[in-house]
Amino acid sequence: MLGFVSQLFSPPSSRGTMASVPLLSQPSVYPPLPSPPRTPSPAMPGSFQFYRDVDELDSPPPPVRSSQNVPVALLSPESSRRASGVELPQGTDPLLREASAHTPHLSQRTTQLTLESDRVAVQTRLFASTSASPSNAGDGGSAAESASPTKSKRAFNAIHEDEEPSARKTPSVRPSQRPRLSSPIVPPNYMRHLPKSSQTTPPFPHDPFAIQIHNHFLHNMLKDFPWSFRYAFCCFVSNGWMDWNDVDTTKLSELLGTMHRNPIAIATNAGLGALAADFLPKEKRSQRVISKRVLDALDDEERSLKDRRDSHKFGKIEWPAGHVKFSALLQRQGSSKESSELKLVLQPPSLSVNNSNRFVRKLGSRAVLSVSIEDTLLRQDDLSYLYDAIAQGLLIEGEVFHAICAKDGSITFISGMTAPYLGLGSITSDDFWIWFVRWHNDWKRQPDQSMTKWGARMQLGLSDSVPGPTLKREGILTKPDIISPFWDGEGKPPSEMIMTDGSGYMSQDIRLHIQHLYDLRHPPAAVQVRVAGAKGLLVACPLTHITDHLQIWIRPSQVKSYPKIAYLDDPSLTTIDVLRPSDWSMPSRITAQLIINLRENYVPASVLCNAFTAALEAATEPFMKYATENDRLQLCKVIETECRIVTSRLSRSESSLRGRFIATRQNDTTIPDFPPTKEEAAYCSLMAGFSHASNPHVYKDVKFILKSIIKQYIGDFRFPLDQSLDALIIPDPLGVLEEGEIAFYFPDPIQEPSGAMVDCLRGDVLVYRHPGLLPTDAQKVKAVDRGVLRMWTGVIIMSTCGRRSPASYLSGGDYDGDRAIIIWDEKIVTPFRNADIRHASPSSAFEESIQNVNESAHEVDSKMSFLAAKSQRQTLQSFLLAGMKNDYVMQRYSHLHDVAVAAYGLHDPRSIDLAHKYNLALDSPKSGLRIKKEVFRQDVRKFDRAHPWKMDKLLGDNRLPLKREAPGAFILYQLAAQGKELQGRLLKRFHDLWLPVQTRAPWKDAALSEPWEKFQQRASCSPDQNMVASRTAIAEHVNNVLLAYDVARRSMGSHYQAQQMGALDSSSPKSDYGAQLCDIRRQFWDGADACNVGDCISSRELRAVLASCAHVIAENKTSFAFDVAFWDIIRLKADSVRLYVQPGHAEPLAGRMAPAPTVSSVAMGMLTLNKRLLGTSIPQIGRARTT
């Protein structure tokens, strides 16, 4: 019996047909991992050498093979030096020997230097020898990998200021690997600004980092601070809020001394991170870079990482580790489009429940940086300068980040700053990068694989997920794929003939574990996961596989990456990373591509127009009435659904982690003073009891939402379709479905429009998968009921019979987590005709447009055998970053296809050819196939016209649309015309219905006026002069803020009017009304304490009185109170209402006192959901201070 390693993680060519048996029937023959490194002695010389010149600095001497099977990086400094055979030359300056002896062992921070005032040497760097690389020793590699001809290097020599650095000899490096010292890419100007006291000591003239936010002279002080503090400084500088020269070094030294004297109390992210803003200029100290929640999360993560290191439970990190996202934007320096100078702008870190993946849980949040690339940079034909700059790495306050993955216009970088927590000791950034790559997907494990496909597999570790159960070795089994009987048996079967491509099984215990993890009503029928090197779905196992243990069955088609053998015991790899359990939604939302497909396959235009009209009228009807309390709640439900309020709240809240409840942090002063969107503000106002029928402010917000919904329907052609659903697709677990059959079982019976209750679908249905650009991407199939399949509910079960997988007909899909739409409306299904199946495959001439850029892992590895660690990293990065521009090509072909379809029709050969090119560009990172440049240019010349149905979004586009040549009117043009007519009718009805709201006298709400009126009465009757003084101070303060508010609104109105009249050009500064409003809101609350003379009232009452006074004094300016005290206004209104589910069963919203009319159970269920979300996402309404 083959072992676990050779079965699950071996190349497909070495895996035969495997039975469902444990993978480990024999003990492992591989040696255990070495013990953790000993604490280095500072008195022992390390394996360091000092080098000069850029090429030499980044190219340490090649390693000498160690005689022991232990990575040299895990030895003590003296042992490492002896094992690597590296000695400091006898003629070395004694001072340098002493510096080497007291340097931390294998310091990963290669750019951290401590300059001494009595030294005249400059332009020096500290690098660790690659003999200490764990990737080059102790893993059974070839001799060529760990040994190479020795290359003599001169020991450290001071480069004096009068010496020409370029006169020195540099080692021979391939031109593609050598840093482009003459490149126009230079560090941002602020990186060259030095303190005046240091002008006599210039920086390194040949800095290898083209993109950096680092000051060498301040780094010696900043390096001891927590990462959040250092990151905040870099964020200030990169955003232009501060220059390195502006830093008060005296103040920084005092803070450093305080931290050293009391490290336990303040040497944390929460203790020091928030103090970074004190170094900003006074006028900019209101900038919030890192919130308290983020700082607390970083401290919790730090403790988790330390506990993991101490207990050796690698990968066992519980929340909140891995949920802080560090991000940045890479853009041009300056406004010139021809400029190739780059600038990195750091963004404030955020805390998100959807930002946990395998990589950040392994390395820690601070070691991972996501960088978005400006679109204009990706539109260039030649991106060599961008590749070169990224390949050199990012230098951010002494920490080196190297690119690990490129996807969707962004690049993920990793740093080795948390390497000691992983048991690696301290290693160079290049060695750490290579170690991490082999930990995830060792290219040496599968020599015959395409390096292009290998590079695409790095993305698997970045999928958002939640850690599930951790499996034992005997819990991971294998099962062979089902192959189409029409396969000729030569080579590897094509993916479309693998009938179970991407789908395995899971035991009942795992289903129950995930049900508890997500708080589901039923155990999931399928789960999308990542486990070890496998990806895809785990489907509930059939009765023949029932077991009481945590077990999974993996198919060969699911194994995508091959971690290094030595790390297969790492729980980070054997833990099931759950991406999402199976779910389904009804009705589904159809898209423009599906509408075109339906019409081009003979569904009448009148049917589609009627469905569009019915959906738009149903979405806008709740805006037109407010007769009962139930009508208001129905309006809330429509806003919640159409504007995705719940989704946006959950993405911002750390209170629930995909079904797992986490206690909310208290005492957080970063609670937003105002909802982030108008949609959420209107939603909260309606839920609190306000009505757009009586409140002018809420009326304006509701009208804005109504216009947005209508515009979305007409502009995007995305609307819900009755009698349709969306769900995961899985292969038939029992093989009982015939070709052309599917099955779908509802977890709970549903009611059809006819009134009948059904528990499964029967009869002809349409199946479609997005994006569907080919006419064959929608298929008419038959839904059947097979009793033995009823345990798999909420998923679309597809047949495993036939010539090819039915999922492959749906836009080249498989079963690794793809979703599909089912439509069973007879008015659509009956006239639909399946397109010619030959359109699903490209024509024979299509191959002339393709170029293959594949290179095998064996070929690449042989080229890298004698390269240093840096050159190896850059070689591998060329494959990891290959997809950086591919997303742009894919998007371009999507646009070209839309133009061709509108002009020639979906079945036209030109449209079909562009659709296949889009699909090829989509899969290019995995297949290694690309469209030839000359073919791409020809397609752009032919079809690069104005988008046919997104004209409103392309204002300023001078391209003309392509004239339609296909017979008949284009369906989307018909829908747009009908939508425009319907838009005018609906908006006029809404305006006429609520006209009294706009013309009535100044609005006054008794619930909002009550606190101020009662306080005035108390002050009038009270002998306490402090009460009288407070009343006067409150009124004066609110009036002053109201004046500033009016000025800001008038300024914004004038700016908008000038812009509409064309009086402002593009170079005119923008009027940021949002920033002005934030300043006014801050002014309103910063002056609150001065209004409480003698502390005569509590802080909670003071907030209520201030909000109430803002409402009363503003009179007809109803927006003022909402803009400056939104949550306090909401609380005052909510405290005045109570809702009842039914007589005798009270269920208050957020307050007490007067009851409101009865609402339905459905509405109250929706209200209860939102009440829970309101409580979890906003722990305390308002910013009440503790007394």
Grade residue 110 by pLDDT with cuts at 50, 70 and 90: very low
Give the pairing of strands 724-731 and 819-823.
Answer: antiparallel
Q: Which of 106, 138, 173 is the last residue of a domain?
A: 173
The predicted model gives 97-108 an average pLDDT of 35
Q: Which residues of 1006-1026 are buried (b: 16+ CB within 10 A; e: fewer)?
A: ebbebbbeebbeebeeeeeee
How many angstroms separate the CA atoms of 444 and 857, rounded? 7
Q: Is the residue at 545 inside a domain?
A: yes
The residues facing 122 across adjacent strands are 159
As a whole number of angstroms, the distance between CA 634 and CA 158 comes to 77
CA distance 529 to 537: 6
1017 and 924 inside one domain: no
Cβ atoms within 10 Å, residue 923: 16
* Token digits of residue 640: 């919640």
Residues in the chain: 1187
Residue 430 within a domain? no
Phi first, then psi, for residue 749 (nearest 5°) are -60, 145
Peptide bond into 771 cis (omega under 30): yes
- Tell me whether strands 660-661 and 763-768 are parallel, antiparallel or unpaired: unpaired
Same-domain pairing of 123 and 11? no
Cβ burial, residue 873 (10 Å; 0-12/13-18/19+)? buried
Domain count, the chain: 5
pLDDT given for residue 340 in this prediction: 62
Cα dihedral sign for 709, 714, 720, 721?
Answer: positive
DSSP 8-class letter at 197: G
Cβ atoms of 859 and 865 closer than 8 Å: no
User: Model confidence at 627, in pLDDT bands (50, 70, 90)?
Assistant: low
1065 and 954: one domain? no
Ranking 227-231, 426-430, 798-802, 882-886 by mean pLDDT, the lowest is 882-886
Using the predicted structure, report yes or no on whether residue 1182 has a pLDDT greater than 70. no
214 within a domain of the structure (yes/no): no
In a domain, 622, yes or no: no
CA distance 1068 to 1091: 40
Looking at 519-579, list the stretches that DSSP marks H as alpha helix, in order from N- to C-terminal side. 571-574
Top mean-pLDDT range of 83-87, 191-195, 803-807: 803-807
Copy the structure tokens of residue 152: 């003599």
- Which token pair is 32? 């255990």
Whether residues 1105 and 1008 share a domain: the answer is yes
pLDDT band for 415, please (50, 70, 90 cuts).
Answer: very high
What is the DSSP track for 319-369? TTTT-EEEEEEEEESSS-TT---EEEEE---EE-TT---HHHHHH-GGGEE
Tell whether 1014 and 1060 lie within a shared domain: yes
Give CA separation, 261 vs 266, 277, 378, in Å. 10, 22, 49
In this structure, the answer to whether residues 56 and 162 fall within a common structural domain is: yes
Residue 76 has pLDDT above 80, yes or no: no
Pick the closest to residue 566 from 959, 948, 34, 1048 (CA basis). Answer: 34
Residue-wise pLDDT tens digits, 597-607: 999 999 999 99
CB-based burial of residue 69 (10 Å sphere; 0-12 exposed, 13-18 middle, 19+ buried)?
exposed
Lowest mean pLDDT among 148-152, 565-569, 1068-1072: 148-152
Each residue of 438-486: pLDDT tens digit? 999 999 999 988 898 899 999 999 998 888 899 988 899 999 999 999 9
More confident: 604 or 137: 604
Q: In Å, how far are 269, 312, 571, 965 from 359, measured between CA atoms?
A: 22, 17, 13, 51
The pair of structure tokens assigned to 675 is 């909802």
Mean pLDDT, the chain, whole residue set:
75
464, 561: one domain: yes
My answer on whether 735 and 849 are in the same domain is: no
Distances (CA, A) of 357 to 366, 441, 911, 1102: 13, 16, 38, 44
Q: What's the distance, CA 1098 to chain centroid?
A: 43
Note the pLDDT of residue 673. 61
Q: What pLDDT digit, counting tens, does each position of 764-779 carry?
A: 999 999 988 999 999 9
User: What is the span of the domain harbouring residue 1073?
Assistant: 1004-1115
Task: Tell me which residue has tokens 């160690």.
Answer: 66
Q: Tokens in use for 378?
A: 């990706």
Residues 341/377, Cβ–Cβ less than 8 Å: no
Tally of CB atoms within 10 A around 138 = 20
Q: Which residues of 701-728 are buried (b: 16+ CB within 10 A; e: fewer)?
A: bbbebbeebbebbbbebebbbebbbbbb
**Residue/partner pairs of 381-386 with CB below 8 Å, 24 or more apart:** 383/884, 383/885, 385/180, 385/183, 385/184, 385/185, 385/340, 386/340, 386/342, 386/884
Mean pLDDT on 35-59: 32
Identity at 944, one-letter amino acid code: D
Contact 743, 824 (CB under 8 A): no
Query: Residue 527's pLDDT is what?
Result: 97
Q: Is residue 610 part of a domain?
A: no
Which residue reads 């033995």 in tokens? 788
CA–CA distance, 832 with 1148 (Å, rounded to integer): 50
Burial (CB count within 10 angstroms: exposed 0-12, middle 13-18, buried 19+), residue 821: buried
Whether 1070 and 1086 share a structural domain: yes
Return phi, psi of residue 536, to 5°. 125, -155
Q: Is residue 1060 part of a domain?
A: yes
Checking 917-921 for CB contacts under 8 A at 24+ apart, the result is 917/849, 917/893, 918/771, 918/773, 918/890, 918/893, 918/894, 919/773, 919/774, 919/811, 919/812, 920/850, 921/886, 921/889, 921/890, 921/893
Q: Do 724 and 761 meet the contact criterion of CB atoms below 8 Å apart?
A: no
Number of helical H runs and strand E runs in the chain: 41, 35
Residue 312 pLDDT more than 50?
no
How far apart CA 710 and CA 882 sit, in angstroms, is 40
Contact 681, 701 (CB under 8 A): yes
Residue 403 CA: distances (Å) to CA of 390, 417, 609, 778, 1096: 7, 15, 49, 39, 59
Bridge pairing between strands 757-760 and 745-751: antiparallel
pLDDT at residue 317 is higher than 80:
no
Confidence band, pLDDT 50/70/90 cuts, at residue 652: low
Query: Do the bridges between strand 584-585 and strand 534-540 make them parallel or antiparallel, or are there none, so unpaired?
Result: unpaired
Chain centroid offset of residue 971 CA: 35
Span of 557-566, 613-622, 957-966 with lowest mean pLDDT: 957-966
Q: pTM here? A: 0.76
End residue of a domain, out of 173, 197, 228:
173
Same domain membership, residue 1061 and residue 1028: yes
Residue that wins the pLDDT comparison between 1069 and 636:
636
Last residue of a domain, one of 1099, 1115, 1131: 1115
Q: Is residue 377, in this structure, part of any structural domain at all?
A: no
> What CATH number should be reported for the domain holding residue 833?
2.40.40.20
Whether residue 925 sits in one domain with residue 823: no
Query: Of 707-711, 926-930, 1136-1140, where does the model show the most confidence?
Result: 707-711
Closest CA to 449 of 817, 906, 879, 158: 879
Burial string for 302-323 (b: 16+ CB within 10 Å, else e) reads: bebbeebbeeeebbbbebbbbb
Give the tens place of pLDDT for each residue, 939-983. Answer: 999 999 888 887 655 545 667 778 888 888 999 999 999 999 999
- Give me the pLDDT at residue 665, please: 37
pLDDT over 90 percentage in the chain: 40
Residue 281 placed within a domain: no
Question: Do the Cβ atoms of 468 and 658 come closer than 8 Å?
Answer: no
pLDDT at 1097 over 60: yes
Asked whether 731 and 746 are in contact (CB, 8 A), the reply is: no
Q: State both tokens at 794.
A: 């909420």
Q: Report the pLDDT value the prediction gives residue 274, as an integer from 0 to 100.
A: 78
- Output the pLDDT for position 155: 30
Q: Which of 25-34, 818-827, 850-859 has the lowest mean pLDDT?
A: 25-34
Q: Are residues 914 and 803 in the same domain?
A: no
